[in-house]
Amino acid sequence: MSMVLRDIPKLIDEPTSGLDYAHMLEVSRLLRELAKQGLCVVVITHDGEFLRESGAQTADWMPKERHR
């Protein structure tokens, strides 16, 4: 893979939307593999199960006063 492409963060929005569990696991495996290859992958998701399966580092951007 080109070093230029490797250095550009990949932003992926809701990659598991509408997927069944087996396909969610496959997406998780593929994204982990990309990260192991040195790619910066940023995923936006509401899927907590996907986050747990992917072993991702997470960030919560919602202000504390909006949490319920």
What is the predicted pLDDT for the residue at 66?
59
Considering the entire predicted model, what is its pTM? Answer: 0.69
CA distance 49 to 51: 5
- Which tokens is 12 given? 């992926």
Parse the chain into domains and list their residue ranges: 3-56
CA distance 43 to 18: 16
Per-residue pLDDT of 5-18, as tens digits, reads: 667 888 899 999 99
